Each structure stands twice: as C-alpha cells, then as structure tokens.
Structure 1
Amino acid sequence: MAEAPGLMISAPSSGTGKTTVTLGLLRALTEDGLTVQPFKSGPDYIDPAFHQAACGRPSFNLDGWAMGADLWQAITHRAAGADICIAEGSMGLYDGVATRGMQGHGSSAETAQATGWPVVLVIDVSGQAQSAAATALGFRNYAPDLPFAGVILNRVASARHERLTRAGMERAGLPVLGVLPRRGDLTLPERHLGLIQAVEHPDLDAAIAGYARFLRDHVDLAALRGAAAGKDLPATPSALPAPPAQRIALARDAAFSFTYPHLLEGWRAAGAEILPFSPLADEAPAADADLVWLPGGYPELHAGRIAAADTFSEGLRRHARTRPVHGECGGYMVLGEGLIDKDGTRHRMAGLLGLETSYETRRFHLGYRRVVLETAMPGHAPGAALRGHEFHYCTILDQPDAPLARVTDADGAPVAETGSVRGHATGTFFHLIAAENHP
C-alpha cells in the first residue's frame, strides 16, 4: 500500500515548544486543504485531544515499549487516506527506558525510525546563538541513520540573534525550517500531569488558530511539506484491541477523560456500544450496560462534587452487585472508600473497593508498567500479561483488598501499586495500553 508521508516534531527536551508547533502545524495544513493525521509518540493521554481539536481527526499513540508489531501496524494504518501525518514526540528525542519493550525503548527517535517520518527538531535558543548548532548537530549525529528534516529555532530574541543562530546551523549543514520569535503568550496552561485537558481550555479554538497564524508567518510550510516522507503502510492492517464487553458505560467528563484513543476506536470497530455518562453531572451509568468503565482524569479537583453525586454512586453500586466495574487511576480512586484532597479534606467515594488515597502529601508515581493478572479484569483472563503506564501524584494510605496483579516497572522491578479486586469491582493505577498477546 502507498506510503504515509509524515514528520516527527521533537526536541532536545520537554518545554521547548513542540506542542505549540505541532498544534499550529496541524491547523495550518488543515486550513490549506490537506487531510492531516495526527499521532503522539509515547504514553500520553492529554495531547491527543488537543491534536484532534486542531485538525478534526482523532490522534493515536504509538509506543515502542508497550505495543507489539500487530497493534503498531493497526494504529499506523489510521494514516490511510491522509495527505500527511504529523507526530508529536515525548520529552527529548532519544528519551526512553533502559530495558527494551515489545518493539523498543519507547523513544520518539524509534517511532521516527519505524515510520520513516523525518525529525523536525524544535530548539529553544534562549541564551545562546551559534552554540545551538552544536546541540542540534549532536542530535542529528547521535543516530546517523535517523531520518532528519531540519530544525525550527524557537524563542529567538532579535534579528541579530537570528543571524548568529542561523550562521551556526549553516556551518553545521542543518536546514532551518522556521524561526519563531520569543512570545510570552504561546504557553498552554499546565497542571501537575502536564497540559490542562482540551475540554477545560477557555478558548482552545482561538488559541490554536493563533498558533497557525504564527507558524504561517515564521515557518516555511512548503519546505516542511516537501521534507515529509514515510514507509509503506501494510495492505491488510491488524485489528485494534477487542472490547471488554458489548455495552460499555464509559464515564466521560472533566474528571474522567484519560482513555487511550486506540482502545475506544477498537471497541467501536468491533461493534461495542459506548454509553457515555457524566459523574460530575450526577448521571448514573446505563442500567442495561454490561460493564462500567471509569477512566483516569482529575477526580481530586472535583472530589466534593463526586462525593455529593448520589445518583451516580447509587447507580454504580447497583451495577456492581451483578456486573463488572473497572477503574483506572483516577477512576480507581473513585471506586475506593475515600479520597483526601490537597487541603486535607476527606471525601467519601463509592466504597466498592477499600482503597484510601491522599493528595495532601503528594508522592510522584511515573513510568511504564508490565502487569500479570492474578485474577480476571474486564476483557482479560487470569495470567494475561498487559502493558500500561502510571502517572499520578497521590499517596496510598490503605490498599486492603486482594491484589489484582503482579506489577513491575519497565526494568522488571516490583511495583507496590498492584491494583485491587473485590467482588465485581476491579481497579488499577496503570492505564492500559495493550495486551502482550494482541490481537
């Protein structure tokens, strides 16, 4: 099948402006009449919603540590019919974990190598000029066979600063694809897990439109389009993950939104019915649902409203008497007995599990997770090996129920957050990405 030309927008580190560049590029190319397919390299469940807002197409994660070849093939096939793919990297270009996963270490460079999408390196040149070329050249030469399109210089202070920085790039033989002047209004609002959610942005469409205008003024869009390349797509794609039930009541609002897009796409493609409901609006899950699924999100910001949502909690408990309920991270916390917010106030949660969590004393939990189930969870039998990612700041005060799984990090070290099971209720701190035996 024809190739899927694309670009990987990456950087030496986080905080250099690659999200702004990605969103502006997605919108500008869409405005030019192109069908643009966005992707996110790595385990991020916030950025894809911003990508979709920018170009109108669902964005999908590609993850070399957590995904096997079949799932990777199924997700890259989402590019079929697109004119160009734009992928946003995670952290720095070569950042990943030490131990190889199902395809690699999880770096953006591996994603670019596997897809053939040349790297556009966004460099924050604040406080330097010609020296920025040494950084860019090091990234270019660290993996000589990595496809590389060029650099975009960000936060350039003046015309003189641009001339000096360009001179360094020319000496290094690196194409300059754009020069972005320093502006203080280009930063998206952030929270402890990164960006705020797309649904929370006060004027997201206007912000993205502004990024697109900014890129048109300062980036060579024609050169970027000309640099796009890629490898051939498979003629027959593999299937996306199968649904864990036929009728799935899915919590969906500002407190529950962290679900990987490829999972929902797979569920729908296999004919499952997704029945969204809002705990924050005190809605109960559909009475005829086969499964209730509570994704992660920010329940700690809305704990008082969740505790007061009697229709939601009663409907959840009624469902759990006879049918499965599963919670991921924030959803897991809501299935527990109580959640203490950052001010020290305890809020009573659903009580389907004994978990007690606290944000009063924050503790950082971050990383890939490999999971072997001790008992069944929706869609997966005991003994199944799963891959996922954990990212939260809560402290566990009590986790009294039977463990759901044996959990290790990317390097095989045991992780104490084993998840829980009680009756029909299960919960995990990791966000599921893939089963090791997919499909």
Structure 2
Amino acid sequence: MRILLQGAQVFQNNRFQVQDILINQQYIEQMGPHLTAPDAQILAMNNLVIAPGFVDVHVHLREPGFNAKETIKTGTLAGAHGGYTTVAAMPNVQPSIDTPRRLQAQIARNQASAQVHVLQYANITKDRTSEQLVDFAALKAAGAFGFSNDGNGVQSAQTMYQAMLAAKQANLPIMAHIEDDSLANHGVMNAGLRAQELGLPGIEPVAETAQLARDLELAAASGVHYHACHVSTAASVELIRVAKKRGINVSAEVTPHHLLLDESMITTDNPQLKMNPPLRTLQDRQACLAGLLDGTIDMIATDHAPHTVNDKAGSMLTAAFGITGLETSFVMLYERLVKPQLCSLAQLINWLSVKPAQVFNLTAAGQLRVGQVADLVVLNLHQPHTITADSMLSCGQNSPFIGQQVEAEVAATMVAGRWAYRKEQTE
C-alpha cells in the first residue's frame, strides 16, 4: 500500500516548502504540491514539519553483555522515538567486537532486532583496551562502519598511528574517544572550583586536549579520516579549527549535553550529571556552540549511554558515567537553541541529519528526494509537554532532562517506508 503525506513543511535542499510526499513500499515515489494517489492511505500533515531522519554516529546499544541497561530493540525504539532513522553502534559490548566473526554475529543481531538502520563499529584494538591492533582489512570485509575504542582513549601514540595507517588503507574512519588516562586521574567531574567545593576528584581538561593534539598530528601524517568524539573543551574546538585550516582530514561531534549543560549546574553530588567527558565550564559550552555555528564541529551526536537505576545510584564517586540522549536530543535542542534563536531549525536539522550523512558518505540518509529510501521524521513544533521517564522507550532513564518542559515533539518516524514510531500508537 502506498502512503500519501499531505501538506507538511518539508525540509529539502536546505529550505522548507509545503509539499506532499508519496511513499511506495520502501521508497519516495513522488514529491510536490497537490499530489493525488487514489489507492494511497492519505495522512494530513498540516502544521507539521517533515525532515530527513536524524543520523546519530555515536550510540551504545549494550547488547550483548549488558542487556539490563539496553537492548538493540529498546535502543533503536528509543532512536525512532527521538526521530533517528540511522544510528551507529559502538563496539563496547561483551564480548567486544574485535574479530570478523564477532562483527558478523553483531550485524546479524542488529538486523534481527533493530527498529532503525544500525551501522556497526569494530574495535581499534583487541579487547578494546590492549595495544594489539585488530585486523582492519578483515573487519572492513565483514561489514565494519569504522573503528573505535570508545569508552577508552588509545594510550600509546605508536598504537594509534599504526591504527590510523591501517584504517586509511581500509578507507574507514577512526572514531576517537579522546582521553589520556594519566591526566584524567580517575576523576568524576571537571577539575576546578566546583569539584573542589563538592569534594569530588576532577578530570583535567588537558586529558582531552593533550591526546587530541597528539591525534591530530598523527592524522596529518597518516591521512586517515579522524573523527573526534564528544568534544567538550574550548581548547579542543580551537585545535580542530586550526587542523581543518591545515587540511587535516578531521571531523568532530558534540553532544546535546555538552551544548546545554555545564559544571555550574552541578550543585550537589548528582550522578545524573556524571558523564565522560564531564560537563565543562560555561565558556567551554559556549565555545562548542560557536564551533558548531562556524562549521568547526560538524554534527551533533548523542553518545546515548543507558544504565540501570542501580548503575546511577548513590554518589558520583561510584556511579557509572553516561546519560541517555536519543529521546531527548531534538526536543531539548529545539527548546534551548532554536526557540531562543541561537540557531535556526534548518541549522539544527543539518547538524542532526544532513551533515553526519555527508561526512560519512551515507548516500541513503540525510536527504529527501524521489527514488530515495523513505527515512523521515515528522515534527510537531507546537505540542507543549513534559519529558517523563514513563514516556521513554529506552531501558535507561538516566537523563537530567526528565521533568523539563518542551514545546516540540517527534510525532512520527518512518524507516524504509514503515512507521518505526508514531505517537498515536503509544497512547
């Protein structure tokens, strides 16, 4: 059966225009004003926005090994609830994904359970924390989207350089968790006055910037596509800005929480505000937004990191790092950035959808056009509501944004011509 979406403000070619979209099976058959299709299911989309489905290049789906935190099914349902049609899953599961056999098994799990498209990373090193490199060519042949040890920085410069050379040969990106363990010093929040006031050990900002500076020089020497994950400091933004001017093949992401929160908001020992990298200063937060606005930072990625209630209980000293992000990303960014006119809706859609697809050559994502797979999100910008734990589809409800009032919502998400999420189906 065909589906005719009528009268939405459709985001295409970086502008909004009232159009209809006719979907036939998995694909967009027609786009334009006043379409007719007698055999189609007609859905009125007046006063709604339709955009290319969001793309998140940094999520943790936890399965296998940590299914109490999240599963592939629940994580991708959460993605659909947040407007995401494509996510890229980090390999820090158990066992970690460091052989072609394990990668193939993980891809099979994704295909069996996922409600959205899932791209799968493989490790950079065996067991993710060793210095022994994986077989990059064999993992590419088995279907790897890229390589990452996310959760841990690669501590040896020699190991990272050899990894970059191998990834360059495979023509796949290195996705870097940037953290020098000897400088992080087992901290739980940003080092500074607030950490001292709360009596909590701090993570020095230089733990990020020192390793980033090293990696950018290695990327320049190797020619690899180097992607800086969850950039959090003003100094990091400046390093990337200079690197791009030098012609280094670097891209970068920032998370919603590093755009919307900073250490001044940590007024008590609150595990819901514990993440890695930690919330930095207001000046760092402002620099991250400035980096997005001037193109230094390419995209927004959630670093969706679900945990059980027990994982996030007690003190920041013992609780797990990380917060969820897939279900709150668009609505919170719209509330805090678009409504106050710090950026436009078009810019936000570009950072969430268009740019990640372009940077990672995802030709089937990030755009709406005839003949393309029908991956799209329907946005209602005038539906005030409160973010609640009960409304979340993720197993993890570890979000500091629960209880926030927001104006916009994701009304529906379509993946390859089928509804992966529709609000009315959950009510």
What is the TM-score normalised by the length of structure 1? 0.28
Higher RCO (C-alpha 8 Å, min separation 6): 2
